[in-house]
Structure 1
Amino acid sequence: MTDETQLTQLVAACHWIGAKGWAPATGGNMSLRQEGRYCLLSESGKDKGALTADDFIQVEIASNHVPSGRKPSAETGLHTLIYRLYPEAGAILHTHSVNATVLSRVEKRAAILLQGYEMQKTLREQQSHLDTVAIPLFDNDQDISALAQRIEFFASETPIKWGFLLRGHGLTCWGRDVAEAKRHLEGLEFLFQCELQRRQLEAK
């Protein structure tokens, strides 16, 4: 599949994310691997529900260098880190949904553990609701370089399969292409909503 086709699909996914309310007030950022050496990353301060192909900026994965001089997302370093760590990652979606944000704050452990949900099978390589899906949690940090270093250290010991949460911030997930990244996003958002409602009911 060509980069142009993937970019068209990514723009459509951004509009879908915007309609879901998962990237409010210009929040979130999305990207696409391009020709191995580069990625295309959403421009800072843009409404993700109204992005066009022209709103994606070429960034060098190895150095975070932007040939055009335009300003990509503040979290550029997290996208390029994922592309460096996981050569199979072809597209990344970072969102700010209410469910992911709230669950990331109420969970005190280093990961959210999901088990018993049929929809776990929306995640690549998951075959059964009996398995346990672990989504790592990292404390939020405005210093993206420091945050990237913490994530990279964690990933060196425990590979991250589908994505991670930042406390009080949101979800970052990825896939081999835009379609898989979108499926992972939708599946995880469903699971987060179920888990949050389950905890609320059990607390009563």
Structure 2
Amino acid sequence: MTDFARAVQDILAAGQRMDARGWVPATAGNISRKLDDGRIALTRSGGHKGFLQAQDIITVDANGKPHRPEDRPSAETLLHCQIYQMDPTAGAVLHGHSVASTVLSMVETGPALYLSDYEVLKVFEGQSTHATTVPVPLFDNDQDIARLATVVAPSFGAMPAGYIIRGHGVYVWGKDMPTALARLEGLEFLLACALERRKLGV
């Protein structure tokens, strides 16, 4: 099996898992995996992530340009490319639109959400204890993705749990797809906990 074929399997499985948890409603979200030759395999624009087929996965170069002119990558492809460029260890990137990430990012007026004292924090790189606080930076939504990327760039190296675009969703990555999925599931669990605590007023 080629590396691209394995990447397709990884992306299809991730899409089904994210869909089952309600993190990619309608045609929202996008998923990518870096290939050994430097190309990036990712979901084409407009597809439902729970019903992806092999033909829904395309490849782009490190700058987001599709290798086939007829392929239309997601509008947010540049954010995936940026992660691979800024973090050479990244092998997979996941972007979802959960209720918790959307609501919390719209009601929180500060520059980040802060997650403290949860055991699940250990899923993020560099965390070895629950007795810690992990920031999740919040960036204002912008339809100009190149401009948004310049706003996100200075925070690289200081967001082990990924980041959230306000009213939009999360970006999480890892060395491979299983790691990225574990971090996404950890972050979404913690965001759901934070949302429940706000509802309870604690």
TM-score by length of 1: 0.93
Q: 1:10 to 1:135 in 2, by over 3 A?
A: same
> CA offset at residue 161 of structure 1?
2.3
**Gapped runs of 5+ residues in structure 2?**
none
Q: 1:180 to 1:86 in 2, by over 3 A?
A: same
Deviations 1:112-161 (A, max 9, x none): 11001111112233111111111111000000010011111333xx5332
Q: 1:2 to 1:38 in 2, by over 3 A?
A: closer
Q: Which residue of 2 aligns with 1:67?
A: 67
Q: Which residue of 2 aligns with 1:165?
A: 164
Q: Supply the distance in 1 between the matched residues of 2:7 and 2:40 (Cα, whole angstroms).
A: 12
> CA offset at residue 3 of structure 1?
4.5
**Gapped runs of 5+ residues in structure 1?**
none
Q: Which residue of 2 aligns with 1:83?
A: 84
Q: Does the Cα contact within 8 Å between 2:161 and 2:187 map onto a contact in 1?
A: no
Q: Does the Cα contact within 8 Å between 1:162 and 1:175 map onto a contact in 2?
A: no
For the residue of structure 2 that corresponds to 1:66, the secondary structure is coil
> CA offset at residue 83 of structure 1?
0.5
Identity rate, percent: 43
Q: Which residue of 2 aligns with 1:185?
A: 184
Q: Supply the distance in 2 between the matched residues of 1:66 and 1:111 (Cα, whole angstroms).
A: 33
Q: Supply the distance in 2 between the matched residues of 1:6 and 1:165 (Cα, whole angstroms).
A: 25
Q: Supply the distance in 1 between the matched residues of 2:159 and 2:122 (Cα, whole angstroms).
A: 17
Q: 1:110 to 1:37 in 2, by over 3 A?
A: same
For the residue of structure 2 that corresponds to 1:109, the secondary structure is coil
In the comparison of the two structures, how many residue pairs are matched?
200
Q: Does the Cα contact within 8 Å between 1:6 and 1:177 map onto a contact in 2?
A: no
Q: Does 1:5 align with 2:9?
A: no
Q: Which residue of 2 aligns with 1:97?
A: 98
Q: Supply the distance in 1 between the matched residues of 2:160 and 2:55 (Cα, whole angstroms).
A: 30
